[in-house]
Structure 1
Amino acid sequence: MRRSALLMAAGALALTSACQQPALAAEEVVEAPMATRSAKEGSGLKTAIFAGGCFWGVEAVFSHTKGVTSAISGYHGGTKRQADYRLVSSGVTDHAEAVKVTYDPKVIRYDQLLRIYFSVVADPTLVNRQGPDRGAHYRSALVPMSAEQNVVAKAYIAQLERAGLWDKPIVTRIERAQTFYPAETYHQDFAAKNPRHGYIQRWDAPKVAALKQLYPGVYRSEFRRD
């Protein structure tokens, strides 16, 4: 896909990510089951990190989810010096493109976010790729930010493995929380700012549409950043 005028104006002339490459086969939407182990997180805002391919789509889905107060695209792991889009997208760093999600557990629990993730955000059977994007920085990974989230994530993956929804094994990793580095400004709210971008229309808009179709009770139409 050609770079949008907005990206060029934002100084993103050097973008080399596979986010810009021609689309391949469509991703499959799988309605994951409700978690048998509900998260018990109490009151107050919580955070969690999700990696699942290009962060544009991950952010788009969670930004349209009720109870999510913030979804920030960025880089998880690696070093601060290398937390730069051109370096990360070249595959020479240890980062994963990821999204830091802040949410209100009184509105939506961590286990419910996991259900959305496995249903419409990422294919958990793909190793180091999602959609047209290739490389370890596009890996499918959950980054729990608390002991409770860690227990719930492990229990839910085990539940999905028993359910046998996919023909191939689940390879989504549970990674230890490391430093999260927010991505460059032009990546934030990218889908909302660039709805006509070829990649967004081909890969990310369908994810948001699937969220609305599968989980209308938690879908919200406005794209929100607090």
Structure 2
Amino acid sequence: MPSLPLRRMVLTAAAGAVLLSSAWIGPSRAAEDAVVIPAPTADLPAADGTQTAVLAGGCFWGVQGVYQHTKGVLNAVSGYAGGAKETANYSASGTGATGHAESVQVTYDPKVISYGKLLQIYFSVVHDPTQLNRQGPDSGTQYRSTIFVQNDAQKKIAEAYIAQLNTAKTFKKPIATTVESGKPFFVGEEYHQDYLTLHPNQPYIVYNDAPKIEALKKIFADNYRDKPVLVRDAKATN
């Protein structure tokens, strides 16, 4: 695997140090705690065929991992959205100056899981939606909380759900998540795909991302699948 930028390596080392120092006081916890939230009052209807959702909420390793363990998801691919094709890569986006956010394109069966349910999982266990440009140890616009809507129907549902949660004061602070339209998704590097599954013992994954999978299993038991759907498996069947 190509070496990661120095900053991610430092964060991984720091996470490892935290795990070692906390070994005697109990299990590690995620950088963002999961929150039990109400389902959206408005949702898209079930339809034939497949649909896609593009979501950004911090490092794409954890976002991808959560949706790979979600029933009804057919594929979840890490990549970039928000900027130009020429800068849709890890090195350039890592500067925070490209407009890109680390994102995950979720292909799903709307007869098994709805767009609204994907958003409920997104706001509940994927990340802390009250932080705009920071998640856990990662900061910068490339880690922003953004829903890249694919059409007007998704935009309506996403904005309505944010308003619903804010009105109910579900979180201690207002939701900072932005909704962006007309921003294409670009597939990320191969070494970023299936990262959580392929590197389960990496300290960064153990500390920041693995707890999200456990939260998904606990809070959304009916939507959880133990065996993840992987990008490499999707490629093998195409």
Q: 2:140 aligns with which of 130, 135, 138?
A: 135
Q: 2:196 maps to what in 1?
A: 191
- For residues 171-225 of structure 1, the C-alpha deviation after alignment (integer angstroms, 9 at most, x for no partner) is 1000113121111000000000000011110011000000000011010011113
CA–CA distance in 2 between the matches of 1:171 and 1:161? 10
Q: 1:20 to 1:211 in 2, by over 3 A?
A: farther
- For residues 2-60 of structure 1, the C-alpha deviation after alignment (integer angstroms, 9 at most, x for no partner) is xxxxxxxx2x2252454751348831211110111121252110001000000000000
Q: 1:28 to 1:129 in 2, by over 3 A?
A: same
Q: 1:145 aligns with which of 137, 145, 150?
A: 150
Q: 2:21 maps to what in 1?
A: none
AA partner of residue 137 (structure 2): P
CA–CA distance in 1 between the matches of 2:147 and 2:214? 23
Q: 2:45 maps to what in 1?
A: 40
Q: 1:15 maps to what in 2?
A: 5
Contact in 2 for aligned 1:18/1:134 (Cα 8 Å): no
CA–CA distance in 2 between the matches of 1:14 and 1:64? 25
CA–CA distance in 2 between the matches of 1:47 and 1:19? 32
- For residues 82-104 of structure 1, the C-alpha deviation after alignment (integer angstroms, 9 at most, x for no partner) is 11211111222110000000000
Higher helix share: 2
Q: 2:24 maps to what in 1?
A: none
CA–CA distance in 1 between the matches of 2:197 and 2:47? 31
Q: 1:18 to 1:185 in 2, by over 3 A?
A: same
In the alignment, is residue 81 of structure 1 matched against residue 89 of structure 2?
Answer: no
CA–CA distance in 1 between the matches of 2:9 and 2:45? 36
Q: 2:123 aligns with which of 118, 142, 146?
A: 118
CA–CA distance in 1 between the matches of 2:9 and 2:168? 31
The percent identity for this pair of structures is 47
Partner-residue secondary structure (3-state), 2:191 = helix
Shift of 1:146: 2.0
**Unpaired runs of at least 5, structure 2:** 19-29
Contact in 2 for aligned 1:28/1:123 (Cα 8 Å): yes
Q: 1:6 maps to what in 2?
A: none
Shift of 1:149: 1.2
Query: TM-score, normalised on structure 1?
Result: 0.91
Q: 1:20 to 1:105 in 2, by over 3 A?
A: farther
Equivalent runs, 1:1-226 vs 2, <5 Å = 10=1, 12-18=2-8, 21=11, 22-23=14-15, 26-225=31-230, 226=234
CA–CA distance in 1 between the matches of 2:7 and 2:180? 23
Q: 1:130 to 1:121 in 2, by over 3 A?
A: same
Give the root-mean-square deviation of aligned CA atoms: 1.5
Query: TM-score, normalised on structure 2?
Result: 0.87
CA–CA distance in 2 between the matches of 1:159 and 1:138? 24
Shift of 1:163: 1.5
CA–CA distance in 1 between the matches of 2:7 and 2:55? 19
**Unpaired runs of at least 5, structure 1:** 1-9
- For residues 118-151 of structure 1, the C-alpha deviation after alignment (integer angstroms, 9 at most, x for no partner) is 0000111112010110000100001111222111
